Chain A
Amino acid sequence: MSNTHEADSDERKVVTFTLDNQMFGIDMTALIEIREWEEPTPLPGVPSFIKGVINLRGSVVPVVGLAERLGWTPSALHARSCVLVVSIDDKQCGFLIDQLADIVVIDTKEIQPAPAMDLTDENVISGLARIERRAMEKDEETEAMVLLLDIEALSLTRHLVDLAA
């Protein structure tokens, strides 16, 4: 399961979604599947952003509130809440997101490096890109900024090491 290999290709397929009205994107290569939200089994003694574990075809997979993890307002659950299951460092993890948006192709030349600014102590944003936003209600196209997430920086076990350090 390779993650963000884009040796020669000039384009990246990115799945976009919203957290706290911000648009985020992760590489399609890391995505395993998209699931409906189901109440996970809570775990004792874990950070509050780890919502618990779910049964993913026989694997016990943690579910993380991604908004909370990134320091945004925690996602409110609703009928269309869903979970992106991704592979990070050969481990599977589910991310609770507010709303799924689209799958877009982004030219790597269009990606700007993330400005070295606050965010959090770890830099989980790998870059910024502008995309044409698919029209929702109106028949006009708008542009939006996508924050591309560095999926490997979101590893739960890596976070563990960071905390211990």
Chain B
Amino acid sequence: MNGGDDGLDEIQAIFFEECAEGLAVAEQGLSAMAEGDVSKETIAGVFRAVHSIKGGSGAFGHTALQTFSHRFENVLDEVRGGKIVPDAAVTRIMLNAFDILSDHVAAAQNNGAPPADAAMMEQLDQVLANKGAAPAAAEPAPAPAPAADEFGFTPVAVSIEAIDDPFGFEPVTVSLDDMDGGPADWIVRFGPSRAALANGGEPVLLIRELERMGGTVTSVDLSALPPLAELDPEDSYCLWTVTVPGPVAEEDIRDCFDFVAPDSVIEIARAATATAVVSEPEAEPVFAPIAVVLEDIAPPAAPTPAPAPATPAPAPAARAAAEPPAQTIRVDLFKLDQLLNLVGELVIQGSILSDRLAPADQERVQLPQLARLTRQIQDNVMSLRAQPIKQAFSRVPRMLRDLMAETGKKVVLDTTGEGTEVDKGVLEKIGDPLTHMIRNAVDHGLESSEERIAAGKSPEGTIRLSAEQKGARIIVRVADDGRGIDRVRVRAKAIEKGIIAADAVLGDEEIDALICAPGFSTAETISNISGRGVGMDVVRSNVEALGGRVEIQSVPGQGTTFTMALPLTLAILDGMIVRLASQRYVLPLTNVVETVKPEPGQVKSVSPGSEVIELRDAYLPMRRMGDMFGVPPHLRRAPEESVVIVVESEAAGLVGLMVDTIDNRREVVIKSLEDNLYPIRGLGGATILGDGSIALILDIDALVASHGIHKFAPKGMAA
């Protein structure tokens, strides 16, 4: 199955994407079950997720994964059917099984060795054997009035129970009551939809599968076949009727159709003797025929589930309740980005119009309305890229379980604000910082159970993970109720590592911030959890690379809170537009502290090429942007004719930046320089202003950390 077929690889990639989604759903469901939510929907959700992983893994030949997920699914199926009670013990086993399942998926994806799962399968089988001995009766089924359908079958008892397939259509279980003697043959009618063929479904394989069970194709209905001229080679017109021997379990037949697009015609019914074309001679004519119809819930043209036509809908209310939560569509991210770019263009064109038209003309052509609409489109497109932060949070419970096993500490996780939406780009980049923060909290923040009891706390530590939106920022917090930062030790360590001078006078917050200093690690012994010496400084640099900030609050004995403030999107920046020698530049507003119009004498030289500005009795270093950007002398302005913007940078603290004038403040769409060039030190990108001209976006940290134009060098060219 590892043939270098690009198409297959692509489908594989989609499969693994679906696996990741399925695992997230399963984990969430199992965690909810561990917390006591054993509702049908929750269990069914987990079952469905594992079930579709199994199906896909079979199709791609990941046998180890398939085998394991099959065992897991067996247990889930029984839980779902109420035959196994999902008590704490069973849930724990399922959670462990889930962990192994994720390892299996990872192994299959990376062509790695599958994890050791024998013990786990054994456990699962035991669960199945011990509890699965409950009455084997089928689910209670209502007995709707039999109604003959167009094929002459009489549907008998149908109960809608739980969603049972990866496509979100309702499975229908059937009770086979009142059966005398051996069962009648199955009549299976199968007509693949256009979508089924488009998905790469191969009807022949399905029919072979049925034949393997002893089935025989008895007829092919070609009545739908159009004249040759109208024949669409990509559509399907055949409707096969296959007779399968009665003793075959209905479940097995249905399994064959697991991954067929939901709008295909799939009917599985017991044959009335009259219609049993090929049947065992002993078939008794007294059997009540039973029809199961899995049908057109979502016809291709209609995105919303339409009521099943013609076929009996025994429990409309149940059907409505079991409706899939939301219709989704997979879109290539590149297409979204293109759309976002185009909308950005539209916004720019709009501001070009408003620059060029007098206010009266703007009203006349309804420009404000257009601008509002454009803005709405932009917001909408941005929201398409937004994803709930749950995706990043869902990794945490598993990580905590591993950490608990490694450290022997007991941790309770409390998560809030999982629904907060963040741009996908941001979301992809907060995973690593989040992992480090959680590891750090468990390893360094929380005490052992004994220590906690001695300190009068509950033996279980708590980690609170929260997300919320504040203005244009997303605030993610990781708070523990552990021992807090040991400032004496942190200080000693920082001095030892040469990060601060031995006599440095530091406030509590400054000491706390030291744990984010590069190369700082307080663990006495390097643990394999977080003491790799690349902990919190990586968190800080990652977050800052996203245009965010990390803050630490700590109360000795009560715990530590790490706060990440992240931008909502990486595509738009709130900036201050400044002018220098007829060019415009954008300063990220997050860096701007204040602006000053220097009085004569306020700017003083301390050495050639090095100046300070006096500000409320303090002296701040000041840089002339004209020097940094090599503006020719005749275009430079004196400090009295300039504006100094006080910016805050990580590297150099508060610094004054001298520019000619300030234009205004606005949101700008960030265009990367790397797209067509290479990154340039001191620049965070470029943007296109209302008049179509380009303004460079300044990277304040890189800018003030370097000392002038000579330090500017394209990354990679520095050597």
Residues of A within 8 A of B (CB): 40-46, 50, 53-55, 57-62, 91-93, 156-157, 160-161, 163-164
With the chains together, A45 CA to B708 CA distance in Å? 10
Question: Which B residues touch A58, using CB under 8 A?
Answer: 341-342, 344-345, 348, 671, 688
Q: Is residue B693 contacting chain A, with contact meaning CB distance below 8 A?
A: yes
Q: Is residue B673 contacting chain A, with contact meaning CB distance below 8 A?
A: yes
Stretch at the interface among B284-292, B309-317, B456-464, B711-719: B711-719
With the chains together, A124 CA to B717 CA distance in Å? 21
With the chains together, A44 CA to B708 CA distance in Å? 10
With the chains together, A160 CA to B628 CA distance in Å? 22
> A163: nearest residue on chain B (CB-CB)?
B717
> A93: nearest residue on chain B (CB-CB)?
B676
With the chains together, A53 CA to B719 CA distance in Å? 25
Q: Is residue B695 contacting chain A, with contact meaning CB distance below 8 A?
A: yes
| Contact across chains for A45 and B694 when beta carbons are under 8 A apart | no
Known interface pairs A44-B709, A55-B694, A62-B677; 15 further A-B residue pairs with C-beta atoms within 8 A, sorted by A's residue number: A41-B696, A44-B628, A44-B630, A44-B682, A44-B712, A46-B680, A50-B677, A53-B694, A54-B694, A60-B671, A60-B686, A93-B676, A157-B677, A157-B678, A164-B717
Q: Is residue B319 contacting chain A, with contact meaning CB distance below 8 A?
A: no
Question: Can you report 21 A-B residue pairs in the complex whose CB atoms are below 8 A from each other?
Answer: A43-B696, A44-B628, A44-B629, A44-B630, A45-B712, A46-B680, A46-B714, A53-B673, A55-B693, A55-B694, A57-B345, A58-B341, A60-B671, A60-B672, A60-B673, A60-B675, A62-B677, A91-B676, A160-B678, A160-B717, A163-B717
Interface string of B279-322 (1 = CB under 8 A from A): 00000000000000000000000000000000000000000000
| Contact across chains for B583 and A42 when beta carbons are under 8 A apart | yes
Question: Which A residues touch B671, using CB under 8 A?
Answer: 58-60
Contact of B714 among A92, A93, A160 (CB under 8 A): A160
With the chains together, A120 CA to B712 CA distance in Å? 26
CB distance from A78 to the nearest CB of B (A): 22
Residues of B within 8 A of A (CB): 341-342, 344-345, 348, 583, 628-630, 671-673, 675-678, 680-683, 685-686, 688, 692-696, 709, 712-714, 716-717, 719
With the chains together, A55 CA to B344 CA distance in Å? 13
Question: Which A residues touch B713, using CB under 8 A?
Answer: 45
CB distance from B635 to the nearest CB of A (A): 12
With the chains together, A163 CA to B717 CA distance in Å? 7
| Contact across chains for B688 and A45 when beta carbons are under 8 A apart | no
CB distance from A121 to the nearest CB of B (A): 16
| Contact across chains for A62 and B676 when beta carbons are under 8 A apart | yes
CB distance from A27 to the nearest CB of B (A): 19
Question: Which A residues touch B714, using CB under 8 A?
Answer: 45-46, 160
Contact of A41 among B348, B672, B693 (CB under 8 A): B693
| Contact across chains for B675 and A91 when beta carbons are under 8 A apart | yes
Q: Which 4 pairs, one residue from A and one from B, show the smallest C-beta to C-beta distance?
A: A45-B712, A41-B694, A58-B345, A60-B686
Question: Which B residues touch A57, using CB under 8 A?
Answer: 345
Question: Which A residues touch B693, using CB under 8 A?
Answer: 41, 55
Question: Which B residues touch A164, using CB under 8 A?
Answer: 716-717, 719
With the chains together, A42 CA to B583 CA distance in Å? 9
Question: Which B residues touch A43, using CB under 8 A?
Answer: 680, 683, 696
Whether A45 contacts B345 in the complex (CB less than 8 A), given A53-B673, A60-B694, comes out as no
| Contact across chains for B675 and A45 when beta carbons are under 8 A apart | no
With the chains together, A76 CA to B53 CA distance in Å? 65
CB distance from B700 to the nearest CB of A (A): 14
| Contact across chains for B680 and A44 when beta carbons are under 8 A apart | yes
With the chains together, A164 CA to B719 CA distance in Å? 6
> A62: nearest residue on chain B (CB-CB)?
B677
> A156: nearest residue on chain B (CB-CB)?
B677
CB distance from B427 to the nearest CB of A (A): 25
With the chains together, A46 CA to B712 CA distance in Å? 8
With the chains together, A93 CA to B677 CA distance in Å? 8
Question: Which A residues touch B677, using CB under 8 A?
Answer: 50, 53, 60, 62, 91, 156-157
> B706: nearest residue on chain A (CB-CB)?
A45
| Contact across chains for A160 and B694 when beta carbons are under 8 A apart | no
| Contact across chains for A45 and B682 when beta carbons are under 8 A apart | yes
> B694: nearest residue on chain A (CB-CB)?
A41
